[in-house]
Amino acid sequence: MAAGLFYILVKLWPIAGLSQEARGALAAFAAAVFLWGTNSLPLAVTGVLVLFLLPMSGALPAKEVYAYFGSDAVFFILGALILASPVMRSGLSTRLALLAVRRFGERPRRLVATLLFTPALMSFFISEHAVVAMLFPLVVELVRAARARPGGRLGTVLFLALAWGAIIGGTATLLGGARAPLALGMLEAATGDRIGFMSWLLATLPVVFGLLLVALFLLWHLVPKGNAVSGLERYLEARVRALGPFSSREKKTLGLMLLVVALWIFFGETWGLGSVALFGVVLAFVIGVADWQEVEEDVNWGVFLMYGSAIALASALKATGAAAYLAEAIFQGVGYPFLALTGVVIMALFLTEAMSNAAAVAVLMPVALAVATTFGLSPEAVTLGVAMPAGLAFLLPVSTPAIAIVVGSGYVRPLEAFRYGFWLKLAGLVLFLGAAFLYWPWIGFGG
Amino acid sequence: MLCAVVANPYTYLEELEPALAEARRRGEALLVVFFISPSALARLARDLGEKGWLGVASLKAIEASMRAGYRLLAEDVLAVIAERAGALGVRVETLVFEGDLEGLLLQLNERGCSKVLGVEALSRAGTR
C-alpha cells in the first residue's frame, strides 16, 4: 500500500523540467526503493513489480525493459552461481578449509588468522554467503572441539573471523557477491563502459588486504596469546581422516575453476565475462562434475528477476533524465568531485547496513552514475565506489547473511558484532578513499 | 514445581536470576527448559537465503547446522545454569525442548509446572 502511495505521489507531483517519462521512471524507482529498503516483498518480487511499472508508467516500452535481461552481467551471474554448485557439492571447499586449519591453526592466534584468511580466499571464487553457509558447521565443530563456552572470547572471535573474512574477501573479485556484476551490468547499460575481471581485482586488492590486516589486528586484540587449543588436534585428525583421499570430482572441480578463472582474466574482455562463465558451465557438465538436479537446488533463481529489473530501472532513470535530476537534488551544493565521490562511498557504506547489499547497489548506482557525469568523475571509479563499500556490511544482522548467521550462532552478541564491526567499517572507509584518490588514478581509474 | 524457559543464549543468566531467587526463597526445585524453535530458525534461514541469494540446498544445510549448533549450545548454557544454581544452593533440573510453542506448553504442563518464569523470553521466541 505504502509503495503504491509512493508511486502515485511521485508520478503526480509536479516537478518542473521533468518529462512524463522521467516522472514515470522516478515513481517506479521510489516504489522499488521503499520495497527493497523495507523488505515488505521478496527482493525478486519487487523486481517483477519494477518490470510491470516501467512500461505502465510510460518510462520505457515493455520490449526495451525485457531486453535488459540479455545483459552480459546477468549471464555472468547465472554461470558463476551454477559453477559454485560443484565446488560446494564435491566437498572441495570443506577439505581445503580443514587442511588449512590443521596445518596452521593449532594455537588460538593462528587459528583465528586461518579462520579469517580461508573464507576470505574462498570468497574470491564463490559467493561469500555460500562460503559462510558452507563453513558455519565446521566452525561450530571447531568451537566445540576447542571447548569455547558461550559468552567466551574464543567463540566470539572465531565466529567473527569467519564472517569478516568472507565479507572482506567477497569484495575482491566479481565472484564474491552478485552485487559487483550487478553494478557492472548497470554501468554497461548506462555508459557502455566495462571493467575487466583482472582490472576489478587490481583495484580492490589493496583495500581487501588492508582490511584483512585491520580485522586480524582487532581479532588478535580480543584473543590472548596462548598455548595449543586443547582437543583441537585430535578432532582435526579424525575429521581429515574421515574425508578420505582427494576424490576425482574434487580434482576435476579444482582444475575447472582454475581454468575458468584464467579464461576470465585473459579472455574476459574479448569473449565477455558471461560467455566464459557459460563455457565453464558446459564444461562442468561435460566432464561430469556438475549435476542438474544439484544445480537446481543450489541456485536461487530469483536473483535474475531482481538483477534484470534493476538494470532496466537504472537504464530508464538514465535515459529519461530522472537520474540526473536525483543526483542534482541530492548533491546540490557539493562543489568538488572528491567530495561527491566521498559522499557516494559513505552512502553505500551505510545504506548497505539497512538493506541487502544488492538492493543498496540497485538503489545507489543510477544516482552515482549521474553524479559521475555531473562532476566529471570516472564512471568506473564511481561503480567501484558503490559496489565495493556496499559489500562491507559488518554492523547489523539485517545487513548481510554472514553477520546474521554468526549472531544466530549464540556465540556473538549483536552488540559485540556492532562494536567491533564499527572499527572495521571506519577502516574500510579510510582505506577505500585512500585507494580511490591515490591508487586508482595510477592504474587507470581516475578517482 | 517452578519452571523457567530460556530462549535467548545471550541474556539467559539475567533472565533466570528472578527464577533462581524465587526457587531459593520457596526451597523448591527449578526446571529450566532451553527452548529451540525450529520454525524461527527456518524463518531466519529463509531471510538469509533471500538476502544472500542462497539456493534451497544451502538453506537446508544452514538451517540444519544452526539447529545442531543450538542443541550443543543448549547443553553448554544449561551446564552454566546448573553451576550457578549449585552455587546458590538451588536444586535444578534441565531440559532441551525442540518444537513449537504449543508443544512446549504441553510439556511444561506434563512436568507439573505450577508457575512458569521467563515468559518474556518465551513470548519473544514464539513470535520471532
* Total count of domains within chain A: 1
CA B2 – CA B31 distance, rounded (Å): 6
Provide, as residue numbers in chain B, all residues whose Cβ is less than 8 Å from the Cβ of A43: 50-51
Rounded percentage of chain A residues whose pLDDT exceeds 90: 40
Cell matching residue A107:
594455537
3-state secondary structure (DSSP) of residue B4 = strand
Question: pLDDT of B66-118, one tens digit each?
Answer: 888 888 888 888 988 899 899 989 999 999 999 988 899 898 889 888 888 76
Q: CB-based contact (8 Å) between A179 and chain B?
A: no
ipTM of this predicted structure: 0.77
More confident residue, B13 or A417: A417
Name the residue range of residue B94's domain: 2-127
Q: Do B56 and A134 touch (CB under 8 A)?
A: no
Return residues 52-81 of B near A (CB < 8 Å): 52-59, 61-62, 65-66, 68-70, 72-73, 76-77, 80
Return residues 9-28 of B near A (CB < 8 Å): 9-10
Which CA distances in Å does A384 have to A128, A358, A380, B53?
A: 18, 14, 6, 21
- For residue A374, the model assigns a pLDDT of 87
Compare CB distances from A297 to B47, B57, B77 and report the shortest one's residue. Answer: B57
Q: Do B73 and A409 touch (CB under 8 A)?
A: yes
Provide, as residue numbers in chain B, all residues whose Cβ is less than 8 Å from the Cβ of A180: none
In this model, does residue A421 exceed pLDDT 90? yes
Cell matching residue A49:
513489480
Backbone angles phi, psi at A125, to 5 degrees: -115, -35
Rounded percentage of chain A residues whose pLDDT exceeds 70: 97
Q: Is A63 exposed, middle or buried (0-12, 13-18, 19+ CB in 10 A)?
A: exposed
Q: Do B77 and A298 touch (CB under 8 A)?
A: no
* Total count of domains within chain B: 1
Are residues A150 and B69 in contact, defined by beta-carbon separation less than 8 angstroms?
A: no
- For residue A227, the model assigns a pLDDT of 60
Integer-rounded Cα radius of gyration of chain B:
16
Distance from CA of B44 to the nearest CA of A (A): 8
CA A5 from chain centre, in angstroms, equals: 31
- For residue A228, the model assigns a pLDDT of 59
Q: Which of A35, A43, A299 to mutate to test the interface with B (most CBs of B within 10 A)?
A: A299
Q: Do A413 and B10 touch (CB under 8 A)?
A: yes
Cell matching residue A153:
572470547
Q: Do A150 and B9 touch (CB under 8 A)?
A: yes
Which CA distances in Å does A208 have to A6, A117, A123, A427, A433?
A: 38, 11, 12, 11, 13
Question: pLDDT of B29-68, one tens digit each?
Answer: 899 999 998 988 888 888 877 777 788 888 888 888 888 8
Question: For residue A156, what is the nearest residue in chain B, using CA coordinates?
Answer: B10
CA A317 – CA A22 distance, rounded (Å): 7
Q: CB-based contact (8 Å) between A409 and chain B?
A: yes
Angle between helices A20-38 and A302-320 (to 10 degrees): 140
Average pLDDT of span A155-163: 93
Q: Which of B43, B58, B96, B124 to mutate to test the interface with A (most CBs of A within 10 A)?
A: B58
Q: CB-based contact (8 Å) between B48 and chain A?
A: yes
CA A334 – CA A206 distance, rounded (Å): 28
Q: pLDDT averaged over chain A? A: 88
Q: Count other Cβ atoms within 10 Å, centred on residue A242.
A: 8
Name the residue range of residue A194's domain: 2-443
- For residue B126, the model assigns a pLDDT of 42
- For residue A351, the model assigns a pLDDT of 85
Provide, as residue numbers in chain B, all residues whose Cβ is less than 8 Å from the Cβ of A130: 52, 54, 58
- pLDDT-derived band of residue A337, with 50, 70 and 90 as boundaries? confident
Q: Do B44 and A408 touch (CB under 8 A)?
A: yes
In this model, does residue A369 exceed pLDDT 50? yes
Q: Do A298 and B72 touch (CB under 8 A)?
A: no
Which residue in A169, A80, A161, A226 sits closest to A411, CA to CA? Answer: A161
What distance, in Å, lies between the first and last C-alpha atoms of chain B? Answer: 28
Q: Do B48 and A140 touch (CB under 8 A)?
A: no
Distance from CA of A284 to the nearest CA of B (A): 19
- pLDDT-derived band of residue A324, with 50, 70 and 90 as boundaries? confident
The amino acid present at A295, given as its one-letter code, is V
Provide, as residue numbers in chain B, all residues whose Cβ is less than 8 Å from the Cβ of A358: 53
Return residues 260-319 of A near B (CB < 8 Å): 294, 297-300, 302-303
- For residue B125, the model assigns a pLDDT of 46
Question: pLDDT of A121-154, one tens digit each?
Answer: 999 998 888 899 888 888 888 887 777 777 778 8
Q: Do B52 and A409 touch (CB under 8 A)?
A: no
Average pLDDT of span B8-13: 79
CATH of residue B14: 3.40.50.12370
Question: pLDDT of A431-442, one tens digit each?
Answer: 999 998 899 888
Q: CB-based contact (8 Å) between A178 and chain B?
A: yes
Q: CB-based contact (8 Å) between A144 and chain B?
A: yes
What distance, in Å, lies between the first and last C-alpha atoms of chain A? Answer: 41
Single pTM value for the model? 0.86
